[in-house]
């Protein structure tokens, strides 16, 4: 591991004058950093060196934690870790800045989405230490991503499947009671509800399976011509069928009569389905959801708009795996949108949320996956 850029002055100082601290830092399971008063890394331990190698990170002293973890918020905004508008919601930033002002130990949860789409769930703790009459922050990090991923997938899967199964059971009971009364008209009216519930069940199963494969990098791509208008109409029809109680109006806009791109249609429809699901869930009864596409500079842009406006905290955390406005363990929808779009469709995803336009999610895709 000699290639890693340790600050040798601090390393030698710890070895010579603080051997116990150095031995502990190289023995513990946590990733351990020592930060200066500007939150810059002056030392990191072997655990982080190994973690960095396994996750294609570029560890170096002189950087801030968000920089070495390749935090997408800092990198996308050409700003430094701790200075973006999203940092105030970051658990790591909160714990580090708190340690600069008092001697208490601070523990926080932190979610970081890296520029390559990898999502880290971290448990961080900080405390102030004095080395050679200088104040530093001891910053300890435990990666809980695997555990959180497993828990989130299980919670979401069983929660959604249980709800859908309960709905199916209720609909079947209704049909059974109507059948006993020979009420054919009531059976006809209830059958579409059964069809919608079955469609929702199949959709959730496919979504969970696709996300599980995508996270393990085992999702196979199949490039084929995809008619974008037909794809959007198909997604809108699905939600008309499965959410009749909201009576939402779906408007589809396109800048041309026919737009066909070469991409993986199944993955594209999964992303647009999640975009539309979020819009539907954020909409009230009889609201309008606008779906559309346009071609700009040899790139296809697909958008889904609803009238709701996000809170600032929601905007800061929207693409993180474990964050959701619907409660703990419910935040895989927007995370999967980003993962599938950037890693598999070679595209980009972003959003805007203002009082004037409501909330709009965009995905930007190449007209061909293979570049032909």
Is residue 318 scored above 90 in pLDDT? no
**CB contact burial 152-169 (16+ within 10 A = b; e otherwise):** bbeebbeebeeebeebbe
pLDDT value of position 328:
39
Mean per-residue pLDDT, 295-320: 85
Give the model's confidence band at 224: pLDDT under 50 very low, under 70 low, under 90 confident, else very high.
very high
Compute φ and ψ for 184, nearest 5 degrees: -65, -40
**CB contact burial 286-311 (16+ within 10 A = b; e otherwise):** ebebbbbbeeeeeebbbbbbbbeebe
Domains parsed from the chain with CATH numbers: 8-143 (3.30.450.20), 148-366 (3.30.565.10)
Give the model's confidence band at 86: pLDDT under 50 very low, under 70 low, under 90 confident, else very high.
confident
Mean per-residue pLDDT, 9-19: 87
Q: What percent of the chain has pLDDT over 90?
A: 30
Look at the block and give the residue holding tokens 């069809």. Answer: 195
Nearest to 143 by CA among 7, 24, 43, 50: 50
Look at the block and give the residue holding tokens 């982080």. Answer: 48
pLDDT value of position 12:
86
pLDDT value of position 332:
56
Beta bridge mates, 31: 141
Mean per-residue pLDDT, 72-92: 76
């Amino acid at each position: 591991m000699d290639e890693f850029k340790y600050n040798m002055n601090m390393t030698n100082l710890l070895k010579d004058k603080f051997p116990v601290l150095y031995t502990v830092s190289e023995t513990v399971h946590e990733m351990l950093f020592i930060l200066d008063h500007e939150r810059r890394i002056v030392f990191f331990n072997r655990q982080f060196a190994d973690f960095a190698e396994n996750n294609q990170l570029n560890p170096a002293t002189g950087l801030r934690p968000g920089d070495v973890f390749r935090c997408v918020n800092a990198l996308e905004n050409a700003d430094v870790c701790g200075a973006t508008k999203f940092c105030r919601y970051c658990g790591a930033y909160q714990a580090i800045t708190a340690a600069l002002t008092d001697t208490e130990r601070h523990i926080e949860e932190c979610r970081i989405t890296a520029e390559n789409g990898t999502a880290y769930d971290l448990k961080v703790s900080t405390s102030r230490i004095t080395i050679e009459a200088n104040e530093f922050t001891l910053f300890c990090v435990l990666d809980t991503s695997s555990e959180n991923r497993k828990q989130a997938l299980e919670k979401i899967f069983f929660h959604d499947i249980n709800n859908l199964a309960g709905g199916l059971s209720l609909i079947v009971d209704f049909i059974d009671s109507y059948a006993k009364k020979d009420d054919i008209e009531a059976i006809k009216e209830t059958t579409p509800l059964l069809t919608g519930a079955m469609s929702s069940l199949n959709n959730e199963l496919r979504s969970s399976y696709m996300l599980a494969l995508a996270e393990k990098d085992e999702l196979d791509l199949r490039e084929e011509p995809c008619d974008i208008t037909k794809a959007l109409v198909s997604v809108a029809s699905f939600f008309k069928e499965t959410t009749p109680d909201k009576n939402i109006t779906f408007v589809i806009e396109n800048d041309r009569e026919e737009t066909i791109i070469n991409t993986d249609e199944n993955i594209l429809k999964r992303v647009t389905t999640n975009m539309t699901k979020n819009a539907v869930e954020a909409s009230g009864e009889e609201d309008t959801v606008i779906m559309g596409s346009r071609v700009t500079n040899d790139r296809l842009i697909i958008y889904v708009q609803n009238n709701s406006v996000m809170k600032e905290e929601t905007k800061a955390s929207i693409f993180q795996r474990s964050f959701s406005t619907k409660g703990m363990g419910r935040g895989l929808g927007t995370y999967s949108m980003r993962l599938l779009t950037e890693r598999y469709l070679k595209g980009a995803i972003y959003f805007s949320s203002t009082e004037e336009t409501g909330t709009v999610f965009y995905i930007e895709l190449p007209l061909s996956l293979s570049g032909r």
